[in-house]
A = this chain, B = another copy of it.
Amino acid sequence: MIDQLVKAIKKTKAPICVGLDPQMSFIPDTIKGRVFNETGETLEGAAEVIWQFNKEIIDATYDLIPSVKPQIAMYEQFGIPGLEAFKKTVDYCKSKGLIVIGDVKRGDIGSTSAAYAAAHLGRVMAGDREYAAFDEDFCTVNPYLGSDGVVPFLKECDAQDKGIFILVKTSNPSSGEFQDRLVLVPAEGLDGASALTVKEEKEMNLHKLVKDVDKEILKQYRVRPLYEIVGEKVAEWASEPRLIGESGYSEVGAVVGATYPEMGKKLRKIMPKSFILVPGYGAQGGKGDDLVAFFNKDGLGAVVNSSRGIIAAYTKAPYSEKYGTDGFADAARAAVKDMKKDIAQALEKV
């Protein structure tokens, strides 16, 4: 599946995905009024509102982009009808030739993680017959439970030609609470983790994070942020030959927020075969120039997501004035074009 993503990115000249995270507050009142008038103010109605909004966004942008990233939470909150709208959205995007990254952030252990992997990437048996439940092309995975949680997803990647993006360093302000914790690693390496040089650590300003650190300690030990340890594990999972496509990239990617470009630069090195899914562009503050760090010299290696910046473009300047509420889909198309331009300009510097 990673090869198909690479192909689609090359074709559209756009390493991006549009985040289909339809918060009700983003959706024009005209759609809500029309639908609720027919369905009543029900969960089914809310799901239909989401679906009609999505469809217009997709129809207005699909020819410009390689991929979309529906965020399942925004559908799950409307219960069964909401999840039906999620499935309908996945299927419709696929019918339009888009690659679908299910942003589900699932993760559990053993047979439970296998069930999540089956739900989103794989197939299940009902008696002797095989079905696919949600059947996205990629999905996002939470690594907190370790290999037991990730390996079942790797199996589906192999068996079904699918891919995953594992959370490494997320885009949110509090992501550092646990992900940036400095882990003590003997210089010789712990569990095979290669230690950084003192010079590299200085560049990362780790010294400033640990106040008054005794330099003698650093001769014997290395302190490394947890996200790098997770990144190395991703690199290990990604390096399985069966998971490497003809493009040279692995089915196993990572999530690293656009809001942390310095960390992105380091993680780009640590995970050479992984595509990086980069959230946080636009509304969360990440800019085109910040994205350069996430890409390889071939101009590949990352796919940048924008959700609100595209689907709610019509609510903000400069799009609001030109397109108005009724032109929300055209505003999304214009915002996609602007995003492509912003990233293309930045990538000229790679």
Name A112's contact: one of B36, B74, B148, B217 (CB within 8 Å): B74
The distance from the CB of A303 to the nearest CB of chain B, in whole angstroms, is 18
Complex contacts, A273 vs chain B, CB 8 Å: none
Query: In whole angstroms, how far apart are the Cα atoms of A49 and B26 in the complex?
Result: 40
Contact A127 B175 (CB under 8 A): no
Is A42 an interface residue when CB atoms closer than 8 A count as contact?
A: yes
Name A143's contact: one of B23, B144, B220 (CB within 8 Å): B144
Query: In whole angstroms, how far apart are the Cα atoms of A107 and B255 in the complex?
Result: 14
The distance from the CB of A186 to the nearest CB of chain B, in whole angstroms, is 6
Name A43's contact: one of B21, B74, B126, B214 (CB within 8 Å): B126
For window 74-128 of A, CB contacts with B under 8 Å fall at 74, 76-80, 82-84, 87, 105-113, 115-116, 118-119, 124-128
Contact B77 A46 (CB under 8 A): no
Contact A146 B175 (CB under 8 A): yes
The distance from the CB of A50 to the nearest CB of chain B, in whole angstroms, is 11
The distance from the CB of A28 to the nearest CB of chain B, in whole angstroms, is 14
Of chain B, the residue at the smallest CB distance from A168 is B144
Contact A144 B142 (CB under 8 A): yes
Contact B178 A127 (CB under 8 A): no
Is A30 an interface residue when CB atoms closer than 8 A count as contact?
A: no
A21-B112, A146-B172, A146-B179 given; A118·B77 CB < 8 A: yes
Complex contacts, A167 vs chain B, CB 8 Å: 144-145
Is A183 an interface residue when CB atoms closer than 8 A count as contact?
A: yes
Name A174's contact: one of B43, B147, B170 (CB within 8 Å): B147
Is A221 an interface residue when CB atoms closer than 8 A count as contact?
A: yes
Copies of this protein in the complex: 2
The distance from the CB of A132 to the nearest CB of chain B, in whole angstroms, is 8
Is A241 an interface residue when CB atoms closer than 8 A count as contact?
A: no
Contact A73 B113 (CB under 8 A): yes
Contact A184 B79 (CB under 8 A): no
Is A71 an interface residue when CB atoms closer than 8 A count as contact?
A: yes
Complex contacts, A183 vs chain B, CB 8 Å: 181-184, 226
Name A145's contact: one of B76, B80, B82, B172 (CB within 8 Å): B172
For window 185-223 of A, CB contacts with B under 8 Å fall at 186, 191, 210-212, 214, 217, 220-221, 223
Is A171 an interface residue when CB atoms closer than 8 A count as contact?
A: yes
Of chain B, the residue at the smallest CB distance from A182 is B184
Query: In whole angstroms, how far apart are the Cα atoms of A284 and B77 in the complex?
Result: 32
Name A110's contact: one of B109, B115, B172 (CB within 8 Å): B172
| Those 3 A-B pairs whose CB atoms lie nearest each other, nearest first | A41-B127, A79-B133, A146-B174
Interface residues of A (CB under 8 A from B): 21, 23-24, 32, 36, 41-43, 45-46, 71, 73-74, 76-80, 82-84, 87, 105-113, 115-116, 118-119, 124-129, 131, 133-134, 142-149, 167, 170-179, 181-184, 186, 191, 210-212, 214, 217, 220-221, 223, 226, 229-230, 233
